[in-house]
């Protein structure tokens, strides 16, 4: 029997093992919503018996060029140099030919400069190609960055044209995205994968003793890179108003805050004021936390906030992770980003880039915590890795069936 004809363990009864090529610019250990999404999808597919290869950049030369993690084969193309957050990989095209030939179908994750070439190879070799559009690309100000931004947008558009389908997280974001509006006829809405490891009460208490030994309250959380589009300065400007009502409040910031790619100037501008709060024990940087520590981080918050400023944020996975732990969210009124709050009622929406509006929304949640209680089961029913993988698996199967008939 051909092993590719064997039904997949733990998958739907109609699913059969597929060779799936996942392509994106940055993969783990790089940390972003996009990479976490792709990792969960790849790992979830591999757990069901599918043969998953990830083709990505070797953005850190100390990373291995080939690696097997959680059943996923990772191939990293060497980087010659960077253009802002983008990477130039001279051998990527050759690697793409090799792995596109060997796969059954492809899952490309945009924004990505190289996606157009990979999708074209998919068309030429009759390999079904599915794009997942995570967010818009907005480069920092400057003539050169505007040129780069335009080139990447054109490459994304070509990738969309060559693809067989396009995935968005929410209809809300799709309705407001110029890119997704162009491909509405082949658009599929699939909720993002959300998961957290179990955490014991003793682990939650230990986390609190380590990071909030003075037992400050309330605790406001943010989980992001210290990057311009994340709106950290909005929270920083909102904090004095929060302290007026809750002088014992503090902010726990989980995520990379030093040497963030292309964000060094932004950090230098914000850090002097943040250091003043750090000295008073009112702000603490936690650094990048692994999933287990994140599962202890969320229950130690009274509210998490996602004050993002533009469409480089399309959802905010951390909101749902926090909600699974009983922590409400205050999110910017951005398409897609507002959906976890709107769908669950577990939080408030704040005006974009408005420190006073953000402070008012946070205070509303802090003043009325019972109003925002929901059961973890209710949240998990809407968002889970299992649901996401189910829907991708079904879509992949349909695409393969249509390509072979």
pLDDT in tens, 323-358: 999 999 999 999 999 999 999 999 999 999 999 999
pLDDT tops 90 at residue 15: no
Q: Does domain 201-382 have CATH number 3.40.50.2000?
A: yes
Distance (Å, rounded) from C-alpha 283 to C-alpha 249?
A: 9
Identify the pLDDT of residue 9.
39
Dihedral in degrees, nearest 10, Cα atoms 354, 270, 304, 141: 60
Compute the mean pLDDT over every residue in the chain, rounded to the nearest whole number: 91
pLDDT at 71: 96
pLDDT score of 6 more than 70: no
The pLDDT, as a whole number, for residue 140 is: 62
Domain covering 3-193+384-400, topology: Rossmann fold (3.40.50)
Taking the mean position of all CA atoms in its chain, how far away is CA 354? 24
| Mean pLDDT, residues 119-123 | 95
The per-residue pLDDT for 150 is: 79
pLDDT band at residue 11 under the 50/70/90 scheme: very low
| The pLDDT of residue 12 | 46
Model's pTM, two decimal places? 0.86
Cα first-last separation, the chain = 22
pLDDT higher than threshold 60 for residue 321: yes
Is the model's pLDDT at 10 over the cut of 70?
no
E strands in 59-170: 66-69, 72-78, 81-83, 86-88, 105-110, 129-133, 165-168
Burial of 185 (0-12, 13-18, 19+ CB in 10 A): exposed
In the predicted structure, residue 219 carries a pLDDT above the cut 90: yes
Q: For 346-398, write each residue's pLDDT tens digit.
A: 999 999 999 999 999 999 999 999 999 999 998 998 899 999 999 999 999 99
Question: Residue 5's pLDDT band (boundaries 50, 70, 90)?
Answer: very low
Q: What is the pLDDT of residue 21?
A: 98
Give pLDDT tens digits for 26-66: 999 998 889 999 999 999 999 999 999 999 999 999 999 99
pLDDT (tens digit, 9 = 90+) per residue, 139-166?
666 776 677 777 888 888 999 999 999 9
pLDDT in tens, 275-295: 999 999 999 999 999 999 999
Q: CA-CA distance, 110 to 21, in Å (whole number)?
A: 14
Q: How confident is the model at residue 257 (pLDDT cuts 50, 70, 90)?
A: confident
> In this prediction, what percent of the chain has a pLDDT beyond 70?
93
In this predicted structure, what is the pLDDT of residue 85? 73
Which residues make Cβ contacts (< 8 Å) with residue 218, sequence separation at least 6?
Answer: 246, 248, 249, 302, 303, 366
Q: What is the CB neighbour count within 10 angstroms for residue 145?
A: 16
pLDDT at 267 over 90: no
pLDDT at 16: 83
CATH 3.40.50.2000 placement within the chain: 3-193+384-400, 201-382
């Amino acid at each position: 029997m051909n092993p590719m004809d064997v039904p997949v363990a733990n998958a739907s009864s109609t699913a059969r093992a597929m060779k799936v090529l996942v392509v994106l610019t940055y993969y783990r250990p790089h940390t972003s919503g996009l990479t976490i999404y792709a990792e969960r999808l790849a790992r979830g597919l591999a757990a069901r018996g599918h043969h998953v290869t990830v083709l990505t950049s070797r953005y850190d030369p100390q990373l291995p060029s080939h690696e097997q993690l959680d059943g996923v084969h990772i191939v990293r193309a060497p980087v010659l140099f960077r253009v802002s957050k983008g990477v130039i990989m001279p051998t990527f095209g050759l690697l793409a030919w090799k792995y596109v030939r060997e796969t059954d179908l492809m899952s490309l994750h945009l924004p990505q400069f190289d996606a157009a070439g990979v999708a074209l190879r998919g068309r030429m070799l009759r390999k079904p190609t599915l794009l997942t559009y995570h967010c818009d690309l907005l480069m920092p100000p400057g003539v050169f960055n505007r040129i780069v931004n335009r080139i990447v947008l054109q490459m994304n558009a070509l990738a969309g044209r060559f693809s067989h389908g396009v995935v968005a997280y929410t209809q809300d974001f799709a309705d407001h995205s110029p890119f997704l509006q162009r491909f509405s006829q082949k658009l599929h809405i699939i909720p993002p994968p959300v998961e957290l490891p179990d955490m014991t009460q003793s682990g939650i208490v230990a986390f609190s003793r380590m990071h909030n030994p003075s037992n400050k309250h309330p605790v406001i959380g943010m989980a992001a890179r210290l990057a311009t589009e994340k709106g950290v300065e909005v929270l920083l400007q909102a904090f004095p108003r929060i302290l007026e009502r809750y002088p014992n409040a503090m902010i726990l910031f989980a995520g990379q805050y030093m040497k963030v790619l292309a964000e060094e100037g932004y950090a230098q501008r914000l850090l002097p004021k943040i250091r003043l709060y750090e000295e008073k024990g009112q702000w603490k940087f936690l650094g990048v936390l692994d999933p287990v520590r994140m599962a202890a981080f969320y229950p130690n918050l009274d509210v998490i906030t996602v004050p993002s400023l533009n469409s480089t944020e399309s959802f905010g996975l951390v909101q749902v992770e926090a909600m699974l732990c009983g922590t409400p969210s205050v999110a910017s009124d951005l398409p897609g980003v507002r959906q976890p709050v709107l769908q669950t009622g577990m939080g408030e929406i704040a005006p974009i880039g408005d420190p006073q509006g953000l402070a008012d929304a946070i205070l509303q949640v802090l003043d009325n915590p019972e109003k925002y209680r929901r059961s973890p089961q209710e949240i998990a029913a809407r968002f889970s890795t299992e649901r996401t993988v189910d829907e991708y698996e079904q879509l992949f199967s349909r695409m393969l069936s249509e390509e072979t008939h």
